[in-house]
Amino acid sequence: MRAARVHRFGSIGDVTVDNVPEPVPLPDQVLVRVVSAALNPIDYKVALTGHRGARTLPLTLGFDAVGTVEATGPDVSSVSVGDRVCLMTDIMEPGTAADLVLAREHNLAKVPAEVPDPIAAGLPLAGLTALQAWSLAGIEEGQSVLVHGGVGGVGHLAVQLAKLSGATVYATSSRRNLDLLDDLGVDHPIDYQATPPVRFVGSVDVVLDTQGGAVAAATLRAMKPGTTLVSIVGFQPEEDEVRADVRIERMLVEPRAAELDTLVGLVADHRLRVIIHDTTPLERFVDALQALHAGHTAGKRIIAVA
């Protein structure tokens, strides 16, 4: 089978699509034949640095996908051969940029036929990140939130989930994507190139940080007392930037089958949209990953595998 693999860390261009042996599921594993996979920033972070701990090389990239169950171990009870599923792998066990991938039941949700393959592939990691971020923040109806990068993979789902929670939503993007923010239901689209986003930070109860660095630091300085900043990129303020009156939460997304099932239901009911930036065949995986790393992606980049 084919798999997009990292043989050494340091360069996206060194990722290769190899022929490798087909995996065999353990008793608690599910073997899924991948139709479409999705790219996330963690893919290029792994290719460049390994990201978040020791990883054994070579490794196959890709953290979410849609496909059909090909085989199951004897301990698996929630899915059967032939079921159509989407999945997010464990963070330390990627592998969806391949013809076949192994997963466990907590990684999977069944997908109804009316949800297209690219949509189902693009949903798991980004959708779960957004859902878990808002859960961690405890957002409630009537609150206001700010999403940095409101048209990004996580951002465009986060703004929609916040609206479904009854929040007033501020979100940033470049000027060319302001119409998309408006289409997604954002109450206050912000052109970060023309207006400093910190001008609006004092008006919100929760900030979703998707960028870290100077953007997160400036945001933290401008936040009003009693508010919450949730960072999905591990933002750690410097000693002189720490504020006792602002709650900072750093999160790492986890695959959770029940939450993924909820997200699939929202998509099937047309209450949540997954925006697809483009679709690239597996053979051109490196091109797609380099494009994601270059920035300016609206929504999700999808890898066509089957």
Q: pLDDT by residue (tens digit) across 218-263?
A: 999 999 999 999 999 999 999 999 999 999 999 999 999 999 999 9
Mean pLDDT of 185-204: 96
User: In this predicted structure, what is the pLDDT of residue 53?
Assistant: 78
Three-state SS at 209: strand
Q: List, for residues 265-288, the tens digit of each pLDDT value.
A: 999 999 999 999 999 999 999 999
Q: Do residues 168 and 175 make contact, with C-beta atoms less than 8 angstroms apart?
A: no
232 DSSP assignment: S
Q: Give 75's DSSP letter.
A: T
Instruction: Give the largest CA-CA distance in the chain.
Output: 58
Report whether 267 contacts 288 (CB < 8 A). no
> 67: which strand partners?
34, 85
User: How many residues would you count in the chain?
Assistant: 306
Assess contact for 51 and 86: CB atoms under 8 A.
no
> Is the distance from CB of 158 to CB of 208 less than 8 angstroms?
yes
Q: For residue range 158-170, what is the model confidence (pLDDT) as tens digits? A: 999 999 999 999 9
AA letter at 21: P
**What value does the mean pLDDT of the chain take?**
97
Rounded CA separation 102/96 (Å): 8
Report the C-alpha gap between 56 and 215 in whole angstroms: 33
Domains of the chain: 2-123+274-304 (3.90.180.10), 126-250 (3.40.50.720)
- Rounded to 5 degrees, φ, ψ at 141 are -55, 135
Tell me the C-alpha to C-alpha distance, in Å, between residue 123 and each of 99, 221, 224, 227.
19, 33, 32, 28
Strand partners, 179: none
Distance CA 269, CA 273 (A): 10
